[in-house]
Chain A
């Protein structure tokens, strides 16, 4: 018995070794004439859970980015090819860490993802000790919450999205600008929802807005039956509406697309459809919410999103290929891939064809500069990329979208410089 098992193990291990060397040396391109170097990019996203829409969107945008970059390589006679290795982490930090290690074993040194802040937290120490370069397109928790107390700890982990403090400010300022004096906050009880709602809650009093109630709903899973939450918010709203009037009361909804289920369960005659609703980047341009526009258009769903629209032709191209519109996290992933691959190529050039993470971090800075200036023939889809000392997006304007009968419409913009809302007439 034992002999058999040992033999089996040996066979398996040999297969494994053989397989590995094969994948490692496979560098000839489809033409077979030019030796192409494969740039492997790991992607850690959610394909099966509550963020699966974003996971798939990320993957789709990366595919388009890959096409564009490879076209650039071809035009400039650069012998490189990109291979994207998407992994499903199911938002489980344990899996995220395992996958990053497995992919590293496959020779992957650069990653796009993970999507959630709790995953980012778990992989952060590993990126530092093993010098893995990671760009998360969507983790927004403030650095101390993901375990980074000094910039040194986040040396290799970039986040091309601004953290919650900015958006919290934008939402608070938006609410005040709409003339709302009392709000109820309904938020998704997870790292993202709590982080953003807390920042919003912190900023609201500064703009003279009073928070009536602060209600969490579960994220794991999100509720099947929303009626308890609807009733709760209704009660709160009713209390203040009597003294203030409908125009001065609002609901801030900080959650993802489960908001569509929430809205579908709000009765037609509910008081909730008489007040203004404010959303966040979690729902902007959501097709699911648009399907319910007879209700959502009534309340506006004024939602802030990191100002990054992407040129119209890109959006059209995306639509033709995959259907729907790219989300801002998706556009950020597109930019992330450009920055990663260009910096990777530069690193190889600067270091005699050998990869080095510390050179790469320097190159990323340079590449971002060039990319911002359009030196690669494209400009960042998500707007100019400026990072702070924590390697997080430092500043940015927030576009304000609302649901109308004709779909999501951009109605204003919150400027970082002035910290004020400018409405589009």
Chain B
């Protein structure tokens, strides 16, 4: 049972990092980014490259993946979205644009994995890092590292958003872009910031992901569903929504499914993704703005004095 809990927490931590990016870019740019999962896979490949060619342990290469991921996020904004936003494209067009971008990233990942294979003389289209993981007082390294990443990210975001001038401007332009613009705040900066962070966090999550599951170029296609579910259940209009949603979805996918399997038999286990999807549907139907959009949450927020 304890293993189920540990596994669920690691997966939730990664989901939180991925969903944070999705929520942030949704708030600033107004587009649900279908390429978010591919960012993570690119992160996995960056970590793999550093491991194979520079013999850098994936945990140690996290700063590098963070920066490269940020650049990837910025590229996404500049190449795929900005030209369309300039032309006043509709939200559906932006969504389709992120899909097209996703396809490009998929192709690049595949081509790159083949190039890497020819250099390392190993098949690099499918890989795991799990055998590289360490243990600390019986706890797997991936649990410690992913939890630390989430904590650091939350702390960093809190300090940035609530303790600096830039942060205040950021929050203002996230909450009400047109008003913020009228007040002389540069909305473009917020967008750049959010895309940088979105890519960076996703790539970091991506370099931890191979400790949990095998990576193939197609992996992104499968995990994007969970990321969306996390962001939506938590609430797309609030950064903290990703945090709450990430844990709810991550835990329900493994822990809740497992508990169900005790009562309904092992056949239920294959439907774990169905469960997160159903939770997403129910959330949307009951309260579309997600958990952070409820009255209760507002009270909590006031109490926390945020």
Contact = CB atoms under 8 A, between A and B. Distances in A.
Interface of A: 47-50, 52-53, 55-57, 88, 90, 189, 213-218, 220-232, 257-258, 260-261, 264-265, 267, 287-288, 291-292, 322-324
Interface stretch (B6-14, B26-34, B167-175): B6-14
Contact of A53 (B10, B106, B123, B213): B123
B164 interface: no
Contacts of B216: 48-50, 52
15 contacts: A50-B218, A88-B110, A218-B269, A218-B270, A221-B219, A223-B213, A224-B209, A225-B10, A228-B257, A229-B269, A232-B261, A258-B213, A261-B214, A288-B126, A324-B122
B212 A261 contact: yes
Contact of A224 (B4, B114, B125, B213): B213
Interface secondary structure of B, over-half rule: helix
Interface string B201-233: 000000001001110111100110000000000
A214 B269 CA distance: 12
Interface in B1-57: 1, 3-8, 10-11
A374 to B, nearest CB: 31
A225 B133 CA distance: 15
Given A53-B125, A231-B4, A216 B269 contact: yes
Given A90-B218, A322-B121, A225 B11 contact: yes
Contacts, number: 141
A212 to B, nearest CB: 11
B122 A323 contact: yes
Interface residues of B, number: 47
Contacts of A288: 126-128, 214
Please provide the 6 A-B residue pairs with the shortest distance between their CB atoms, ordered closest to farther: A323-B121, A264-B130, A227-B7, A221-B222, A225-B7, A228-B258
A288 B215 CA distance: 12
Given A47-B110, A267-B3, A225 B266 contact: no
Contacts of B153: none
Nearest to B225: A221
B270 A216 contact: yes
A56 B106 CA distance: 17
B222 to A, nearest CB: 4
A48 B266 contact: no
Contacts of A257: 126, 214
B253 interface: yes
A228 B213 contact: no
B273 interface: yes
